[in-house]
A and B are shown apart, each in its own frame.
Chain A
Amino acid sequence: MTMAHEINKERPSGLFPERRAFSSGAAPRDVTGWATTAVITALVLVFAFWATLRRLYGVSLTLGVSEYVLMPAAVILALAVLAILIPAARSVSRARAARQCVSSGKLVNARILTSAASDCAYYTFGFAALLVAVIGFAQFLVANDLAVSRTFLLIPLMWHSFPLVFKAFWLNVYIFVVAEILVLVWGLIVAIARLMPGETARPIRAMATLYTDIFRGMPAIITMYLVGFGLPLSGVPLLGNLSAETYAIIALTLTFGAYVAEVYKAGIESIHWSQVAAARSLGLSYLQTMRYIIVPQAIRRITPPLLNDFIGLQKDTALVNVIGAIDAFNQAKIISSNNFNLSAVTVVAFIFIAITIPQARLVDRMLEKDQRRLRGG
């Protein structure tokens, strides 16, 4: 076998730089400093945690929590926090070993150990950040002789207000379920109107654009107020004499119809024009192409952003309280002013969070799946 190309050393082509030394062959940097810092941080936080725990323990006793529950829980927590010392200690031992390897010339081992040591140190810092947040929150709860806990988290009041608030929450559910169905239809109509092709459809397009501009720009609470108080005042036949929840549904459909129309529009535009060309070339009309080819593909893509808008809509059902319907928030406000305590409102917050978290995770999962498919495809 002969070499296909001789390397011309006298006259380089100039296409790549002169050879230089292999720069990744040096010894790794020393990370014992980082490792020591990790240990100190860990120790400080363990003591801070213990101190906070002691305070919580005392407070809980005065609130009448049984000692038989409290003692084991406190002991378990106090021991569990020691876990932060494990990565810290590991970081130090690896960093030391790495230093020895460097001095005895085992550079590859030194690099591996250094990388492990700094990973352990970073892990400790992450854990520490979490502990700082937990300690801060606990201290906030017990601050000013438990004022915060008593205001927001008065357990007996939460317990008693829950059934009333939960019952009122069905109004929110009714509003968002009906509004979501209407929004899905209305948003698609607006999106198709905005995307109508040709010169003749210009007025329709302009109208649809004006609508989305207005209702995306207007705060939902103002739309709610104008619809909920304005329509009854105007006394328009059919529209002047509806229930507060119906006005809420109208207002939310108008507002979120504009958002969702944008989502639909983006979805439809994201389908490659070659799909339209293929469908039209088979003799399908514009509307048939939309109906059978474009919208079904767009819907798959826009489900995650659509769900995001729905989460927004569900939360905004609480705005119905400005026009006086007794939803969960309004009910909680009544309870709160009767008791001069906000714990009932916290219950509403928990309910909203409880229904939106699964949806948020679902959106994340769908987006992730989409990404995987795109990367894989």
Chain B
Amino acid sequence: MPILEIKNISKAYGSYRVFDGLTLDVEEHQVVCLIGASGCGKSTLLRCINGLEPIGSGEILIHSDRVSGPGVDVNALRRDVGIVFQSYNLFPHMTVMENITLAPRKVLNQHAKDAEVQARHLLERIGLGQKANVYPDSLSGGQQQRVAIVRALAMGPMIMLLDEITSALDPELVSEVLNIVRDLAADGMTMVLATHEMGFAREVATKVCFLAEGKVYEEGPPEQIFNEPQGERTQAFLKRIVAAGRL
């Protein structure tokens, strides 16, 4: 039984059809990597799952419960589905600690003390225990992104959506962020990643989906997608990735 089902969704921006009958299932503890050309809808798909953008038709189910369309309690949905953005989006006027504890306190009504204990524990685990009381602008990009991941984790989500979380980072900072994702995968967190890090996708994914033509054009285990891609467009895409020295 998949934890997340995306059933035949369509979405258009004006005359441009981002999704045209896209279908995707995610099982519990699976790590699904979305790959594809720029503008193919990887990020939009994650934002639709999280209810940050509406879909045109079709439906999205979590635990067989419909979470798209009118009447859905999006705030409740977002308690269970965490998202991390490419540009971190930390709150610049709050310390690291306040960034992490805000939602647990205001949305889950946790006591400030409990929220802080939990946040401190998470920060220690990612090696940023010293940074609890600093403001985001004094952190490196990699550190900010790690805090952003912790901020999402503090809500205790069932599914994590990671939207190109290393694309804005300097190359030497990428690994510190990917290590956390590796740990999460090892702990059994269900994750959907939009990514350009093909090497990482190959290593960590249980399933790789190539998005094109508004659909999941091709999907399969990483060895199959990267070594023996079947579809014409998948082959062309991977050829360009190899030509750019990224795989």
Contact = CB atoms under 8 A, between A and B. Distances in A.
A binds B: yes
Interface of A: 274-275, 277-285, 288, 292-293, 296-297, 300, 377
Contacts of B57: none
Listed residue (A281, A284, A293) with the most chain B CB atoms within 10 angstroms of its CB: A281
Contact of A281 (B83, B91, B92): B83
Interface in B69-121: 74-76, 78-79, 82-83, 85, 87, 89-93, 102-103, 106-107
Contacts of B91: 275, 278-279, 293, 297
A281 B106 contact: no
Contacts, number: 55
Given A281-B52, A288-B106, 20 more contacts: A274-B85, A274-B87, A274-B89, A275-B89, A277-B47, A278-B89, A279-B91, A280-B52, A282-B82, A282-B103, A282-B151, A282-B152, A283-B75, A283-B103, A283-B155, A284-B106, A285-B75, A296-B93, A297-B92, A297-B93
B190 interface: no
B52 A283 contact: no
B32 to A, nearest CB: 19
B27 interface: no
B85 A282 contact: no
B106 to A, nearest CB: 6
Nearest to B105: A292
B50 interface: yes
A292 B85 contact: no
Contacts of B76: 283
Given A281-B82, A282-B152, A283-B155, A292 B89 contact: no
B183 interface: no
Contact of A277 (B89, B92, B102): B89
A89 to B, nearest CB: 51
Nearest to A274: B89
B223 interface: no
B137 interface: yes
Given A274-B87, A292-B102, A283 B93 contact: no
Contact of A282 (B87, B92, B93, B155): B155
Listed residue (B50, B52, B91) with the most chain A CB atoms within 10 angstroms of its CB: B91
A13 to B, nearest CB: 24
A292 B137 contact: no
Contacts of B85: 274, 277-278
Top 3 A-B residue pairs of the complex, sorted by shortest distance between their CB atoms: A278-B89, A282-B103, A283-B107
Given A277-B52, A377-B137, A282 B89 contact: no
A283 B78 CA distance: 5
A282 B102 contact: yes
Contacts of B155: 282-283
24 contacts: A274-B87, A277-B47, A277-B52, A277-B85, A277-B89, A278-B91, A280-B52, A280-B74, A280-B78, A281-B78, A281-B152, A282-B82, A282-B102, A282-B107, A282-B152, A283-B76, A283-B103, A283-B155, A284-B75, A284-B107, A288-B107, A293-B91, A296-B93, A297-B92
Nearest to B92: A297
Contacts of A275: 89, 91
A126 to B, nearest CB: 40
Nearest to B53: A277
Nearest to B47: A277
A282 B137 contact: no
Nearest to B86: A274
Nearest to B76: A283
B215 to A, nearest CB: 25
A218 to B, nearest CB: 36
Contacts of B93: 296-297, 300
A285 B83 CA distance: 16
Contact of A283 (B47, B79, B89, B92): B79
A296 B93 CA distance: 8
A175 B163 CA distance: 53
A281 B90 CA distance: 12
A275 B151 CA distance: 14
Nearest to B90: A278
A274 B163 CA distance: 13
B3 to A, nearest CB: 19
A285 B92 CA distance: 19
A285 B75 CA distance: 7
A288 B103 CA distance: 10
Contacts of A296: 93
Nearest to A299: B93
Interface string B115-155: 00000000000000000000001000000000000011001
